[in-house]
Amino acid sequence: MQELINRAKELLADGTVARVLGYKAGDLPYNPEPAYFESAEELKDFVYNGFCGANLSKYMIEASKLEGKTMVFLKPCDTYSFNQLLKEHRVDRDKAYIVGVGCKGKLDIEKVKKQGIKGIQSIKGADITDDAQILTIQTIYGEKTCSYGDAMLERCHVCKGKEHRIFDEQIGESKETKDAERFAEVERIEAMSPEEKFAYFRSELSKCIRCNACRNACPACSCRKCVFDSNKFDSSQKANVDSFEEKMFHIIRAFHVAGRCTDCGECSRVCPQGIPLHLFNRKFIKDIDELYGEYQAGADTDSTAPLTDYTFEDAEPSIVGKRG
């Protein structure tokens, strides 16, 4: 972490960047918030640890509108989002100085709490220089331990790889965290009967409170005015008054980002109700891979997206019923 701070100080001092976009220490051991730093003095609050899970590429949309360069710390998966935004002309490459930070997997405090650990006072083992094996947690109710892997976000278990897709320099080591198949859960659902599928999504989506956290945290959801916010259109619903609306919202949102979603997992991370929203996006990704050839959004900045492309031989929609 000190390395990141030192580098930030250097670049601020020599005027390469006007500000630094990173994380500020929170008031609990696990709640650092994304923040801008404009001076060496402000950097005293800088922090970068396992709980810095937010995808800062999303913030670069706003940062690109500011005067001067912004130094930003991106983990490998964030760089996919940055590439995708670059392709869509939503961020400015010249306004960004990208430090690719090594990643040993990001932590989900909800997963720690699900293990019955509460009254958390301090957490050891979450720093990026730690070996990411075990978390030692001091709580009001005594000391607890938790394996790092068990506390990791879902997305880290199916990590796309620790290679930064775009960067100006790299700092820090990474550690392989992939220990599950990316599409396993999607396949599990596909194998269900229509009744089971319906019941599964009904139960998950009935929790949706339409807070729009998934949309607002999503780097692919970068529309200035969302169709679900437009008061000139009856799609603007603030509550799921009927069970139809939760499906409408999530299907359309997933569809709008289909072919552009890098599978960064922010939607699932931020959902206050723990809805596995990535299962929608991943279904589209899986279908695209199977039907139109493997495609990873954000892997590059010049390929044609699957939904703005076609071939004469594309599968007919009737294939949906024919596949197993």
Partner 1 sequence: MSLENKEFKPKIVAFCCNWCSYAGADLAGSSRLTYPADVKIIRVPCSCRVNPMFILRAFEKGADGVIMCGCHPGDCHYSTGNYYARRRMTLLFSMLDYIGVENGRTRVEWVSAAEGVKFSETMNSFVEKIYSLGENVRLGDLRCKS
Partner 2 sequence: MYKIAKENLSALFQLIAETRELYLPVKTAGQTNFAAWSKDAEVDLDTLKTVKSAKDAFFPQSEGLYTVKKEGKKMSIEPERLKEQEFVVFGMKACDVRGMEVLDNVFLSEPVDTFYEARRAHGTIVAMACHEPEETCFCKVFGVDAASPASDVAVWNVGEALYWKAQSEKGEALTEAVKELLTEADEDGAAAVEAEKDAIHKIVEKLPYMSLSLEGWNGDALSEKFDSPVWEELYKPCLACGTCTFVCPTCQCYDIKDYTAGNTVSRYRCWDSCMYSDFTMMAHGNNRTSQMQRFRQRFMHKLVYYPANNDGMYSCTGCGRCVEKCPSALNIVKVVKAFQNQGGEK
Q: Which residues bind partner 1 (CB under 8 A)?
A: 189-190, 192, 194-202, 227, 235, 241-245, 247-248, 251-252, 254-255, 258, 280, 283-284, 287-288, 291-292, 306-312, 314-321
List beta partners, residue 72.
Answer: 21, 98
SS3 string, 23-53, reads EECCCCCCCCEEEEECCCCHHHHECCECCCC
Nearer residue to partner 1 within complex by CB, 78 or 204: 204
Determine the number of helices (DSSP H) and then strands (DSSP E) in the chain. 12, 8
Q: Which does 170 bind (CB under 5 to 8 A by kind): partner 1, partner 2, none?
A: none
Distance CA 79, CA 165 (A): 6
Nearer residue to partner 2 within complex by CB, 58 or 160: 58
Nearer residue to partner 1 within complex by CB, 109 or 288: 288
CB of 186 vs partner 2, minimal distance in Å: 17
Take residue 257 and report the two structure tokens written for it: 């980002």
Which residue ranges make up the site for partner 2 (CB under 8 A)?
Answer: 26-28, 31-36, 54, 58-59, 118-121, 139-141, 203-204, 206-207, 209-213, 215-217, 225, 229, 231, 234, 236-241, 269-270, 272-275
Q: Which does 235 bind (CB under 5 to 8 A by kind): partner 1, partner 2, none?
A: partner 1
Q: Which does 34 bind (CB under 5 to 8 A by kind): partner 2, partner 1, none?
A: partner 2
Give the closest residue to 293 by CA, choosing from 283, 304, 306, 302. 306
Give the closest residue to 17 by CA, choosing from 63, 57, 77, 79. 63
Nearer residue to partner 1 within complex by CB, 31 or 230: 230
For the chain, strand residue ranges (E) read: 19-24, 33-37, 70-74, 96-101, 120-124, 134-139, 142-147, 169-171
Nearer residue to partner 2 within complex by CB, 99 or 109: 109
Q: Which does 280 bind (CB under 5 to 8 A by kind): partner 2, partner 1, none?
A: partner 1
Q: Which does 270 bind (CB under 5 to 8 A by kind): partner 2, partner 1, none?
A: partner 2
Q: Which does 16 bind (CB under 5 to 8 A by kind): partner 1, partner 2, none?
A: none
Nearer residue to partner 1 within complex by CB, 91 or 218: 218
Q: Where are the alpha helices (DSSP H) in 64-125?
A: 76-87, 109-114
Q: Which does 293 bind (CB under 5 to 8 A by kind): partner 2, partner 1, none?
A: none
Give the closest residue to 220 by CA, choosing from 250, 255, 257. 257
CB of 95 vs partner 2, minimal distance in Å: 17
Nearest 5 degrees, angle CA 246-CA 252-CA 257?
Answer: 130
Nearer residue to partner 1 within complex by CB, 127 or 229: 229
Distance CA 303, CA 268 (A): 27
